[in-house]
Amino acid sequence: MPQLVAMSSSPVHIRNAVPEDIPYIAGIGRRVFSTSFGHTVTPEQLEEYLQSAYSIEAVTRDMENTDKDWIVATDSEDGTIMGFSLLTRGTSEPCLAHLESLIEFQRVYVDMRFQGRGIAMLLMAEMEAIAKKTGYKNIWLGVWEENRRAQRVYGKMGFKVVGDHMFDVGGDIQRDLVMLKTIESLA
């Protein structure tokens, strides 16, 4: 799965995440989530969510879960982790219950220092390739209803809004749009 992709400043390497990456994933997750969504909740709610999703313990549990595939984007020259992505099997929403062969594209986070270089698109493309290789036909994601930028990006990649679900951010219940894409099998 590792690949080398030339970027404007230095090549980006996509690889499977390993346990040594956990502190970096947790740090990037905390920073990006706080910057992107922290303004929508109280500091206490934000910290509660960050502990549940981006503490070392939470990322370790997720990485040990065999239903989750993690990849990281690294700088090929110095190995700096620039971003990560997560693909999860076994999740669904009521609006998706009629579909077979379903996998969730759960996270794509790029450290603020590296945003705007196309790294998120590389991570998403690699996750879609993993889903194809493993025979999944449908890939879905949840995106905050007010995150118009992400909705546009997902739309350009072929995702369509098919419903919604509620997302708990430390006790603050927010609405996410559920977006779906049918993917072609490699078989």
Contact 77, 11 (CB under 8 A): yes
- Secondary structure, 3-state, 102-133: EEEEEEEEECHHHCCCCHHHHHHHHHHHHHHH
What is the reported pLDDT for 46? 92
Average pLDDT per block of 10 residues along the chain, 187 residues long:
45 95 97 91 93 96 96 93 95 92 93 91 92 92 90 91 91 91 70
Integer angstrom CA distances of residue 160 from 129, 142, 152: 19, 11, 10
Predicted local confidence at residue 153, as pLDDT: 87
- Cα–Cα distance between 175 and 165 in angstroms, integer? 6
What pLDDT is stored for residue 9 in this prediction? 54
Residue-wise burial string across 170-180, b where 16 or more C-beta atoms lie within 10 A, e elsewhere: beeeeebbbbb
Whose structure tokens read 């994601």? 141
Give pLDDT, residue 116: 87
What's the confidence (pLDDT) of residue 10? 60
- Computed over every residue of the chain, the mean pLDDT equals 89
Question: What is the value of pTM for the model shown?
Answer: 0.87
Residue 184 is predicted with a pLDDT of 72
* pLDDT at residue 32 in the model: 93
